[in-house]
Amino acid sequence: MSYLVLARKYRPRTFADLVGQEVVARTLQGAIEEDRVGHAYLFCGPRGTGKTTTARIVAKALNCVQGPTPNPCGVCDHCTGIDKGSDPDLIEMDAASNRRIEDVRELRENVAYAPMRARYKIYIVDEVHMMTKEAFNALLKTLEEPPKHVKFLLATTDPQKVPATILSRCQILRLSPLPEAVISARLEHVFAKENVRAEAGVSIEIARRARGGMRDALSLADQLLSLVGSEPKVADLERLAAEGGADLADRVLACLAASDRAGVIEALPQGEGGEPELVAALLDRLRAILLTGLLGRETPLVQLDAEERTLLAAQAEKIGLPRIEAWIEELLLARERMARLPTHGRVVLEIALLDLARVETGLPLADLERRLLALEARLSGAAPLAAPRPATPARSAPDDLVPRPTPARDVPPAASRAAPAAFVAPPAPAAHAAAARGPAVPAASPTPTPSSPRNPAPAPRPTAPPPMPSTENDWHETEGAPDSGAGPAQTSDAPRPRIAGNADAWERFLDALAKVSSSLAETLRVRGKLVDLANGRALIQLANLRETERAAALDPQNQRRCASVFSSVLGAPTNVVLEDQAIAKKSRDSYTGKVAELFGGRIEDDA
């Protein structure tokens, strides 16, 4: 007689044998007792949790000679025929191999015929998510309104792939992974039936490696008994499976916590092929450590004994919860890479573990945030007043954006490098520029030189720039014009504070411009941004302009006004470029546009 594996020999025959799925069993029993059995059920859950087994028990309960009954007898022709798979009124289909529309059409034709000898004709469709879209569509009408003598029992491990139209026509029952304690107790029962004298801890270790699947646990027990006989030990499991269990996972995690990169490689099993299982074991262990560290030792989400919980709490405190979360994320990515590169699983695992074992040189995010807040507070505080420059100017800090005034004879012509369709405001008139930067200071002389028409006496340098010009031509505006002719950008005799960066210069410019023209300042604030400020030139890019806003921005008087206000804010002549992004994009060819978008910049003609 051929050997019957443990997973088939000890398959549950009744609802009472469905260990770990009491909610599903009680729901189905109640439906049978109350005569509320639906025409279609969908059983979903991980592999080995009893989906097909539950469907067969439902078939026996409906077709038993004593039924429909929640407790089938198991000895009548219908019950024994379903257990053996020979009952003609139970049709089991594998959707992975019967997934075409032709198979579903054949099913629809056979549905119309009455059962041969049973009460119901029952269809069990396993892995239903493998059916094609056309096959699902062909099944919709039959699944929604089948004949009274037909019941559909569907099973899947991936309900997300089942169309919503199918889900809405079924009663969905979810089978959850079995707890380790339930699997261990079932294994002890099987060992007692098989006269196996297992060492203490063997059933627990098998349950851990099964990861919620009773079929996987019984299959692993079958392999173990074939390897070592009727007296298995925990150490024999290390020989059987290369992925190891909790002990191996703890050794690897200890090496990772100690940043022992050589120890990590030495802790891995010698044989290859069990890398995905080892990653799964590490993920399970890290999850248990994380939950224990977050929720405490008494959390019901971790089903371990008190000694194991104490060990997990110590590991959580030693490693640190942020580091554990990062490890879990990296291991999940490593598992995805293994799926794409199955022949290089060992290399992927080793590289991932070596990366996790690196000594952390970076700062935690909380520390970085505190440092940035402290630096921001220092920068936003009261800035020191600008000190008088020495004869040989010292090199300024990178954030010192205030241009240095130079004598009139040393002022180079302003460079007007503008991109196509960029609108450059002309530099301020010579009188305005001279007023903005103040009179030139001649070189120091040991002996004062008498005043003469050819050699005039140097005028004293003012402590602040003189008031901005306020002629009617320069400040003419249809709205927001000042009432007095003194000009809106008057400056006081108080020393000017230093500008802290481009953002500070931009805000000061907008505030000063608002005193001249509130509408223009609001347009620049909403539609524009300062992208460059250097070498006496300010580049302002404008986007999403309306027609009225574009006309105001391109007005030459408004452009001169912006240049004058920016020069007043910085204390030196500043050339302002107003660039409309919509016009600039239309004016350049496709290749230039791609280059600019690729590098996140702008293209200028080197005129």
Q: Give tens-digit pLDDT for 339-348.
A: 898 888 889 9
Domain that holds residue 213: 180-240
Residue after which a domain boundary falls, among 301, 324, 356:
356
Q: Is pLDDT at 12 greater than 80 in this prediction?
A: yes
- What pLDDT sits at residue 462? 46
pLDDT at site 600:
53
Query: Residue 474: which pLDDT band, with cuts at 50, 70 and 90?
Result: very low
Structure confidence at residue 415 as a pLDDT band (50, 70, 90): very low
Residue 206 sits in the same domain as residue 260 = no
DSSP helix/strand/coil, 55: helix
pLDDT of residue 27 exceeding 90, the answer is: yes
Q: Work out the burial of residue 226: count CB atoms within 10 Å of its CB; fewer than 13 is exposed, 13-18 middle, 19 or more buried.
A: exposed
Residues 100 and 202 occupy one common structural domain: no
Query: Quick one: 153 and 61 in the same domain?
Result: yes
Same domain, 208 and 296: no
What's the average model confidence in pLDDT over 460-486?
40
What pLDDT does residue 165 have?
92
What does each C-alpha distance from 126 to 42, 141, 517 come to in angstroms? 10, 20, 74
Q: Among 356, 379, 405, where does a domain finish?
A: 356
Q: How many CB atoms lie within 10 A of CB 523?
A: 21
Q: How many CA atoms are closer than 13 Å to the CA of 66, on its beta-carbon side?
A: 11
197-211, 373-387, 456-470, 575-589: which has the minimum mean pLDDT? Answer: 456-470
Q: How does pLDDT run across 247-272, given as a tens digit for each residue? A: 788 889 989 988 888 999 988 887 77
In a domain, 456, yes or no: no
User: Does 21 lie in the same domain as 165?
Assistant: yes
For residues 156 and 198, membership in a common domain is answered with no
Is 517 a residue whose pLDDT tops 90?
Answer: no
| 353 pLDDT more than 60 | yes
Kindly provide the residue ranges of all beta strands, DSSP E only, lying in 347-463, ordered along the sequence: 422-424
Query: Quick one: pLDDT at residue 586?
Result: 59
Number of Cβ atoms within 10 Å of the Cβ of 213 = 22
Question: What pLDDT score was predicted for residue 362?
Answer: 56
- Distance between CA atoms of 576 and 570, rounded to whole angstroms? 12
What CATH number did the domain enclosing 225 receive? 1.10.8.60
Indicate the length of the chain as a whole number. 607
Residues 197 and 126 in one domain: no
**pLDDT score recorded for residue 101:** 87
Let me know if residue 378 belongs to a domain. no
Mean pLDDT, all residues of the chain: 77
Residue 504 lies in a domain: yes
**207 and 262 housed in the same domain:** no
What pLDDT score was predicted for residue 364? Answer: 65
d(CA 34, CA 371): 67
Give pLDDT, residue 603: 57
Query: By the 8 A CB rule, do 27 and 173 touch?
Result: yes
The pLDDT, as a whole number, for residue 1 is 54
DSSP three-state, residue 423: strand
121 part of a folded domain:
yes
User: What CATH number does residue 119 fall under?
Assistant: 3.40.50.300
Q: Which of 271-285, 375-389, 526-540 has the lowest mean pLDDT?
A: 375-389
Q: Do 149 and 262 reside in the same domain of the chain?
A: no
Residues 217, 251 share a domain:
no
Alpha helix (H) ranges present in 408-529?
A: 430-437, 472-475, 502-516, 518-527
- Higher pLDDT: 472 or 596? It is 596
Find out whether 432 and 469 touch, Cβ atoms under 8 Å. yes
d(CA 32, CA 245): 42
CATH of the domain at 310: 1.20.272.10
Q: Give me the mean pLDDT over the 465-482 stretch.
A: 39
**Higher pLDDT pick, 350 / 487:** 350
Give the confidence band of 433 by pLDDT, cuts at 50, 70, 90: very low
CA nearest neighbour of 178 among 8, 47, 298: 47
Domains in the chain, number = 4
* pLDDT at position 399: 42
Q: Do 259 and 349 share a domain, yes or no?
A: yes
Q: Strands 422-424 and 575-580: what pairing?
A: antiparallel
Give the confidence band of 375 by pLDDT, cuts at 50, 70, 90: confident
Domain for residue 285, yes or no?
A: yes
Pick from 308, 326, 356: which residue ends a domain? 356
Give a yes or no: residue 392 inside a domain.
no
**pLDDT tier for residue 505 given thresholds of 50, 70 and 90:** confident
In this prediction, residues 59-77 reach a mean pLDDT of 90
pLDDT at 463 exceeding the cut of 60: no
Q: Is residue 370 part of a domain?
A: no
pLDDT at 17 over 80: yes
Q: Which of 325-329, 495-499, 540-544 is modeled with the greatest confidence?
A: 325-329
Same domain, 42 and 119: yes
pLDDT mean over 76-96: 89
Looking at the domain assignment, is residue 401 inside a domain?
A: no
